[in-house]
Every structure is written in C-alpha cells, then in structure tokens.
Amino acid sequence: MTDPSPISALVTSGPETPPPGGGGNVYRRTLATPGAARFIGPAFVGRLPIAMHALGTVLFVQDRSGSYAVGGAVAAAGALSEAVCVPRVGRALDRLGQARMLVAGLAGHLLGAAALLVTVWVGAPRPLWFLAAVVAGGCLPPVGTCVRARWSALLGGGALLPAALALEAAIDELVFILGPTLVTVLATLVDPAAGLLASAVLLGIGAMGLALQHGTDPGPRAASTAPPERIMRRPDTRTLVAIVFAIGIGFGGIDVAMVAFAREEGLAAIGGLLLGMFAAGSGISGLITGARPHNRPLRARLLRSIELLTFGLSLPLAGVGVATMIPLTVLAGATVAPTMIDANAMMERIVGPGARTEGFAWLTMAVVGGLAVGSPLAGRLIDTGGARLGYLVPAGAGLLAGLTALLGRRHLPDVDAHNPAPAGVPRPASETIGAAALTD
C-alpha cells in the first residue's frame, strides 16, 4: 500500500490548457509525452513487489512459525529498514542518477530476499531471519519514487503534471489490486514461498527495465558548491511526512487484518481479493479525482481528503461477514487515493527541483515506516483477540492522520498545484526534458 502517489486538479493555464473533452483526453495527452511510454511498463512491473514483498514475508514466516505476530515482526524489520534507507537512497538518486542506484539496490535486495527464504525454510536462528529482512528491505529500489521524479522532470510545473501524478496514484492502486491477490494465491495454492519468489523476479524485470531508460532519468544532479537542501528541517515537509506516516500505519493494519479475517471466515484466498477491492476503490476514486477540475487551494483539498480518510479507515470495523466487508472495503479504499494524490502534490510544490526525488522518497519512507508499525501491531492484536481486533489499527491510524493534519495545518502552505511554489522554494522557468534527449 502503499504505497507507494499526485495531484487532484486538472485546472490548467496557458497553452497547455486541455481542450474540452474531459479528463480522459488529458490522460491521453499525458501518456503521449515523449519518453513516457517507454518507462510506464517497466515501472509498473517493478512496483508490483511493493505490494507483494511484505505480505509475502508475513505469509511465508507465518506458515513456518505458526504466528502472525512473528511474520508481522519480520516483515516490519524489513519495512523499517526500507524506511530508514529510502530518503538517503532518494538523495543519492538525485545526485548520481537512477540507473546506477537501481542496479545496486536490486542486487542487494535479491541477496537479502534469498537469505530470508533460506534461513526461514531451514529453521535457522530467528535473528538471522530479521537480518535477512533488514538487508532485503533496506536495498529495495524505490521504483515509484523514481517514476514520479521522471514525470516531474519531464513536465515541470506544467498543466499535465497533475494528470501524470493522478495516473500514478491509480497505477499504484492497480498494483495493490494485483500484488496482494497474486502473492496470496501463490502462497495459498502453490507454496508458502512462491509469493516471495515471484516478487523478486518481477522486481528484477522492472528495475532493470527502468534503469535502461536513460533519456528520462532526471539525474545525476549538476555539481554545485551549495550544500544540499535539508528538506526535513522544514515544518511543512515534517507535517506532511507525519500525516502520511499515520496513513501507512493504517495500510499495515489493513493488510494483515484482511488476510486474517478471510481465514477466520474459512476463505483464505479471499484475503487477497479483499485487499484488491480496497485498492480498486482507491484507484477508481483517484482517477475520478484526477479528471475533475478544482477551484479550491491545494491545502484545503488535502485537509478535506484527510477528513474523509479518517472516517473511511474505520469502516471495516462494521463488517460482520465477507458479504458486508466487500462494499465497506471499497468505500474505505475510496478515501485513500485522493489523500495520497494531494499529499504528493503538496510535496512536489514545496520542495525545490534539486531535491524532488528525495522529497517523494520521504513520503515513501513515511508509508513504509507506518507499515512497519501497523503490521506487527495488527498481528499482535489478531493473535490476542481475532481478526476484528486487528481492524482497530487502521481505524486508529485514520484518527491519528486527522489529528496530525488538524494540529499541523498552519505549517502547510496555501499553494495551488499550477502556480509557482511558495516564496523560498526556487523553481526553474522550465524543468521539461526535451524530446531530443529521449532518443537514446
């Protein structure tokens, strides 16, 4: 989950204002951006493991140990390692370029994933399980972060960027439809280790395919004598990251609670379907949000979407069976993508171009760090009192996100998605990569 996204308005200005014809036309124009078609496919494949690796770890370790809490703890160790490393990886991506870092990260992740499979399978001492998970998580290439940085560099602050980032949000949700479903089916019907193996293979295909797309790589950053911007020293970015961290806790709780709920109902394979329905609701609402023009400032939209998410993440508590849980899950998911779209939009506006990858990486870190808290917490509650108790985690996380936004709203700048960034955040006149650079 997320993961893992964007801007909700398609209000445009100047020569890039889309003609009448609706959001679909804007999406077609966005996908026609030179170079975009070449990285969309590898980026999609490379993002599937984001929705597969942690859940695959939980299911594999739970099968071998008999405990959701242990499975959640091992997955959390990997997620926490990823959360700690990803901002530094984002800074390196800005400085060194994506190709080098994607290849290096892929190699480290595959080594860690292989060690995790072997140590758990042979029953090695449990500290080795955690060590392997830490290596795999810390080296996981941030494919989604790389793609958003490419869109930002290709389109600059132009009118098509909102559509691109909203499309990214929808793709992320598609990933969270297919990923959990695939890993749950593989772990349940093929072998408990099959989900993790499939995740590693897909990551290799996607990350290498993206690394080869040099023409749209926004790095390496030009050498400068000025010190790099420390974006987390700013109250606006800290507030935004704290909000997304709370949302990540909810994602972690939803992942584990849905799977446990399905097993309690005697329909283990339905767990992936429920997670897919959650993501489907989010993806559809994201596409609708991205295709609608908005007149409200970005901060107002973000705060409104957080209000809805606070309510939405509590809905699964009302599910009394699979039949009622499905619509509640869809409705809960529908509150997610608009929030993540607006959060990524805010980060894109308040962070300077030399740190755009790092900015998106901090939001990835927040989601993954939240997962590291939400997954084991839900696992512990489920082991204690059943799946329904696990749903307290996303409900509490939604409330935490709402309170964080309420207390920190004064730090969020009142910017529009298409206007210049606030004072003190320099942006070049054009950040667009020319089509001539995409012919390599």
CATH number for the domain that contains residue 304 = 1.20.1250.20
Assess if residue 30 is contained within a domain. Answer: no
Phi, psi of 126 (to 5 degrees): -60, -30
Q: Of 233, 177, 196, whose CA–CA distance to 355 is shortest?
A: 233
Task: Say if residues 103 and 213 touch (Cβ distance below 8 Å).
Answer: no
Supply the pTM of this predicted model: 0.71
Total domains present in the chain: 1
Task: Say if residues 353 and 428 touch (Cβ distance below 8 Å).
Answer: yes
Phi, psi of 234 (to 5 degrees): -95, 140
pLDDT at position 436 is 29
Task: Say if residues 198 and 323 touch (Cβ distance below 8 Å).
Answer: no
Query: How many helices and strands in the chain, by DSSP H and E?
Result: 17, 0
pLDDT at position 423 is 35
| Other beta carbons less than 10 A from residue 234's beta carbon | 16
Name the token pair of 143: 């494919």
Assess if residue 12 is contained within a domain. Answer: no
pLDDT at position 96 is 81
Kindly give the confidence (pLDDT) of every residue in the chain, 440 residues in length, as a single tens digit, with 9 standing for 90 and above.
Answer: 444 433 333 333 333 344 434 445 778 888 888 888 888 889 899 988 887 888 889 889 988 888 877 888 898 888 788 878 877 887 788 778 888 889 999 999 999 999 999 999 998 999 999 999 999 998 988 888 888 888 877 877 666 777 787 788 778 877 877 887 788 889 888 888 999 999 999 999 999 999 888 888 877 766 554 555 677 778 888 999 999 999 999 988 888 888 888 888 877 767 777 887 888 888 888 878 777 766 778 888 899 999 999 999 999 888 778 888 889 999 999 999 889 888 888 887 887 766 777 788 888 788 877 877 888 889 889 888 888 899 999 999 999 999 999 998 888 887 654 444 443 333 332 233 333 233 33
The sign one gets for the Cα dihedral 232, 408, 300, 249 is: positive
pLDDT at position 100 is 86
Assess if residue 426 is contained within a domain. Answer: no
Assess if residue 31 is contained within a domain. Answer: no
Task: Say if residues 8 and 289 touch (Cβ distance below 8 Å).
Answer: yes
| Other beta carbons less than 10 A from residue 396's beta carbon | 18
Task: Say if residues 257 and 379 touch (Cβ distance below 8 Å).
Answer: no
What is the C-alpha separation between 172 and 125, in angstroms, rounded? 36
DSSP state of 139: T
- CA 120 from chain centre, in angstroms, equals 27
Assess if residue 436 is contained within a domain. Answer: no
Assess if residue 267 is contained within a domain. Answer: yes
Question: What region does 228 belong to: left with phi over 0, alpha with psi -120 to 50, or beta?
Answer: beta
Domain of 264 in residue numbering reads as 36-221+231-419
Assess if residue 26 is contained within a domain. Answer: no
DSSP state of 410: G
For 20, the 3-state DSSP assignment is: coil
Assess if residue 21 is contained within a domain. Answer: no
DSSP state of 163: H
